[in-house]
């Protein structure tokens, strides 16, 4: 069979699997949960997600697992970008391949999409988190046999794409099925990448939510009393390693030191670093550093995004406002305000790096109890981005722009009555 026909046959088969998944999600009834144990930065986390039977394979919500680890996900047409503890990975729908900034690995089963979420085979969870993020996740209990659900009418939206267009010429993740009539490709205009959606998060129960620091009133309102700059990664955690050996942990430390130096020249607000050397730190240790105190703004600097948003050199992440109220939403709202204000200053500066803003769960904010903005400053995942960050002059110019924008934003904020 010609290669193109094989691709269409695979696309048809995987599209059918996605339709089955959509039907299962739309049917009534509860599936038995799968339970996992995770270890993130030395902290133990219990994960749980409902099991869905798809062609005899047990699938679980990847969004659900990522959310319980304190990460986030952005869904786009045909793929999802997963962010966890400062690292990122991209999973393609109907494909078993997953790519990070430094490598690509293959799961045993394809990633599927349905109900505005991604689903992963339960048996692939351990490899996904180990290879993608260096996080240990282990299945702790065997789930009861999945409930076979009766198909219902699938969502029309799932029929709008040509699944074959999403497939790379990779080895078939499963034995070839009987011949299937190829799907008719749709208009290419329908398969163009859609604007990113807000990350999908699942509600947490009190038992699943990570431990939170006490939130002081100063962190929710009033002037900013201190700026804490966090250099992402460190020590044994190198973060992204670019071609040529440029390490994210070294780039973030250089950026943090330069931002602190230039910020002091423009503002009287005290500024400090969570780390000033090459050492590994958990989220709890970063949150416990001296500069992270009530009334502070915490800005965590990274440079490992798989790809920067088009036209943007800095991606600013803040925790999503859930609408549930309380201190977490108040912190998230304050962090969102600072992220949007910082983006406005960066975008308004002539010749400076342009910024984009996105919402994503931030474990560091949960641990610190103060508003936190995670800044992806360029990217080491492309040759051009790595060259820019390896060049001291260009890196310093980026840091100078961030320092100037932060100083202007916080000085104006504190001057308000």
pLDDT digits (tens, 9 = 90+) for 177-232: 333 333 223 233 222 333 333 333 333 333 333 455 677 777 788 999 999 999 99
360 vs 192 pLDDT, higher one: 360
Q: Which domain holds residue 158?
A: 3-191
User: CA-to-CA distance for 240 and 381, rounded, in angstroms?
Assistant: 8
Place of tokens 């695979």: 10
Per cent of the chain over pLDDT 90 is 35
Q: Does 237 share its domain with 99?
A: no
Q: Does 401 share its domain with 280?
A: yes
Q: Does 124 share its domain with 273?
A: no
Q: Does 366 share its domain with 252?
A: yes
- The DSSP symbol for 241 reads B
* pLDDT for residue 307: 59
149 vs 21 pLDDT, higher one: 21
User: Residue 407: pLDDT above 90?
Assistant: yes
Residue 399: pLDDT band with limits 50, 70, 90? very high
Residue 209 lies in a domain: no
* pLDDT for residue 306: 66
Strand segments (E) across 307-371: 314-318, 355-359
Q: Does 179 share its domain with 222?
A: no
CATH number of 269's domain: 3.40.630.40
Residue 85 lies in a domain: yes
Query: What's the pTM value of the predicted model, to 2 decimals?
Result: 0.56
110 vs 219 pLDDT, higher one: 110
Buried b or exposed e, range 311-332, using 16+ CB within 10 angstroms? ebbbbbbbbbbeeeeeebbbbb
Place of tokens 């925790």: 319
User: CA-to-CA distance for 166 and 365, rounded, in angstroms?
Assistant: 36
User: Residue 167: pLDDT above 60?
Assistant: no
* pLDDT for residue 137: 86
Residue 206 lies in a domain: no
Looking at the structure of the chain, the number of domains it has is 2
Q: Of 68-77, 169-178, 261-270, which has the strongest mean pLDDT?
A: 261-270
Strand segments (E) across 16-66: 33-40, 43-50, 52-54, 57-61
**SS3 of residue 230 by DSSP:** strand
- Residues 118-155 have pLDDT tens digits of 999 999 999 999 888 888 888 885 444 444 433 433 33
Q: What is the mean pLDDT of the chain?
A: 77
CATH number of 12's domain: 3.30.457.10
Q: Token pair of 182, please?
A: 């190829």
* pLDDT for residue 29: 38
């Amino acid at each position: 069979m010609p290669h193109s026909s094989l691709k269409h046959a695979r696309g048809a088969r995987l599209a059918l699997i996605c339709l089955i998944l959509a039907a299962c999600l739309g049917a009534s009834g509860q599936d038995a949960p799968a339970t996992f144990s995770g270890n993130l930065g030395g902290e133990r986390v219990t994960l749980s997600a409902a099991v869905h039977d798809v062609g005899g394979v047990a699938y679980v919500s990847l969004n659900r697992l990522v959310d319980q680890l304190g990460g986030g996900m952005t869904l786009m047409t045909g793929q999802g970008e997963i962010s966890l503890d400062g690292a990122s990975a991209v999973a393609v729908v109907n494909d078993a391949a997953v790519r990070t900034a430094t490598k690509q690995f293959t799961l045993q089963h394809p990633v599927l999409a349905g109900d505005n979420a991604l689903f992963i085979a339960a048996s692939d969870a351990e490899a996904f988190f180990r290879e993608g993020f260096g996080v240990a996740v282990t299945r702790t209990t065997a789930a009861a046999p999945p409930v076979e659900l009766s198909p219902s009418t699938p969502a029309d939206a799932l029929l709008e794409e040509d699944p074959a267009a999403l497939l790379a010429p990779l080895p078939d993740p499963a034995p070839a099925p009987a011949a299937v009539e190829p799907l008719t490709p749709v208009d290419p205009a329908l398969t163009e990448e859609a604007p990113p959606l807000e990350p999908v998060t699942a509600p947490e129960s009190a038992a699943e939510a990570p431990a939170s620091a006490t939130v002081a009133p100063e962190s929710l309102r009033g002037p900013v009393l201190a700026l804490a700059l966090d250099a992402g990664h460190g020590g044994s955690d190198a973060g992204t390693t670019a071609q040529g050996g440029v390490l994210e942990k070294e780039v973030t430390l250089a950026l943090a030191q330069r931002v602190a130096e230039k910020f002091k020249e423009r503002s009287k607000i005290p500024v400090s670093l969570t780390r000033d050397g090459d050492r590994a730190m958990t989220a709890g240790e970063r949150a416990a550093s001296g500069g992270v105190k009530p009334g502070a703004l915490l800005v965590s600097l990274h440079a490992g995004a798989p790809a920067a948003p088009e036209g943007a050199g800095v991606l600013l992440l803040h925790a999503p406002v859930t609408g549930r109220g309380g201190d977490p939403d108040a912190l998230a709202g304050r962090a969102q305000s600072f992220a949007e204000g910082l983006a406005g200053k960066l975008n308004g500066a002539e010749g400076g790096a342009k910024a984009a803003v996105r919402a994503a769960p931030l474990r560091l904010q949960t641990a610190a109890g103060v508003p936190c903005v995670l800044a992806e400053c360029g990217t080491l995942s492309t040759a051009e981005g790595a060259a820019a960050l390896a060049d001291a002059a260009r890196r310093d110019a980026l840091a100078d722009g961030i320092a100037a924008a932060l100083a202007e934003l916080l000085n104006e904020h504190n001057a308000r009555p």
